[in-house]
A and B are shown apart, each in its own frame.
Chain A
Amino acid sequence: MSEKGGKGSSLLSKGSLKGKDDSATKSSKGRRVQFSKEAGPFESGITSAGSPASGGKGEFSRGGKGDKVANGKAKTPSDPGVDQKLPENVKCIMDCEAADILQGIQEQMVMLSRDSTIKIPISFDKGMHYATSNSKYSDPESVRRVLQPLKGHGFSDNEICMIANLCPETADEVFALVPSVKDKESTSQILKDSLHQLAKLKQF
């Protein structure tokens, strides 16, 4: 049974993932685990063994020399934006929205679990637990409304979701944690206002 991607999936693959996955599994030396330094949000992170761009060793040695990264001064030119290569019909959702959706589905799951042939997948339980425990807001609609002005200033959906999930206290925190918005420092006042309103919506 083959899984055909829809529009989103075909855009997601970009023709490169299949090759990467295949070469990883077919490697004569067994599976070589390499961590791609250029992986975007929907790339698998497995690079072919022979790929010159693979940063397997380099990745860890860069991690070991973490001082440069920690100082925040070294800007790797290959550092991808958060929403790089996201296809159009994929919608990023906040943890609070995901929690709402999954809680709605959970009731159906409870009914289905009475059938012994149906097992509730572990990833559903873990995903739901993660979404509900990380959900800092009771009303996702209000959060969307508060962060809506940022969209008009060039913030992408993905960046807005990350800001909502992290609930940062200052604009500096946003610029540090979401590197792709660093070039939008001119919007720091609007960002501060949005964060201030977001803090009011946060439930403890």
Chain B
Amino acid sequence: MFFHIVLERNMQLHPRYFGRNLRDNLVSKLMKDVEGTCSGRHGFVVAVTGIENIGKGLIRDGTGFVTFPVKYQCVVFRPFKGEILEAVVTMVNKMGFFAEAGPVQIFVSNHLIPDDMEFQSGDMPNYTTSDGSVKIQKDSEVRLKIIGTRVDATEIFCIGTIKDDFLGVINDPATA
């Protein structure tokens, strides 16, 4: 789910960037440093939407660098346990399937796929019901529930389930 959040960061600026464009340089550096990063607390920082406040710079002893405390607003994407998401299937194998919701990867194990769906191998591996009415394959859209999250240095990885009520395939590319 997306959140709009205010964060604070200490930005170090080299003296070469001082001058009348100091603020612009600081903002550019902030965006370069922060956008695209991921943390366990906030999830993926998708975009910086605005600068709330730039505090007074403090010259660091021994170097000419100056540290500015910057408060900024940003849009983050953070999945959490129990959330219901709509994701697109990226890969299917006999262990389950991988799906993507924004920048987040989700794995749904075959244990968390309804028992009446079986894995069919082939050119386009998929999970299909016994009557063939419902199929999960690459590019299918599924609604799933997050049951666990893992945070890496650069990404968040989730485990999901489609075994609960109102979960499963929304859109099958084969029938679309």
> Contact residues of A with B, CB < 8 Å?
1-9, 12-13, 17, 20-21, 33, 35-37, 39-46, 59-60, 63-64, 66, 69-70, 72, 79-80, 82, 89-95, 97-98, 101-102, 105, 118, 121-124, 126-131, 134, 158, 161-162, 165-166, 168, 173, 176-179
Contact = CB atoms under 8 A, between A and B. Distances in A.
Contacts, number: 201
Given A41-B80, A72-B164, A123-B103, A21 B40 contact: yes
A43 B42 CA distance: 9
Contacts of A13: 41
Contacts of A166: 84, 86, 143
Given A63-B112, A69-B164, A72-B165, A45 B36 contact: no
A130 B141 CA distance: 12
A39 B81 contact: yes
B47 A102 contact: yes
Instruction: For chain B, give the interface size range.
Output: 35 or more
B80 A3 contact: no
Interface in B115-159: 143, 145, 147-151, 159
A39 B148 contact: yes
Contact of B84 (A3, A44, A80, A177): A177
B5 interface: yes
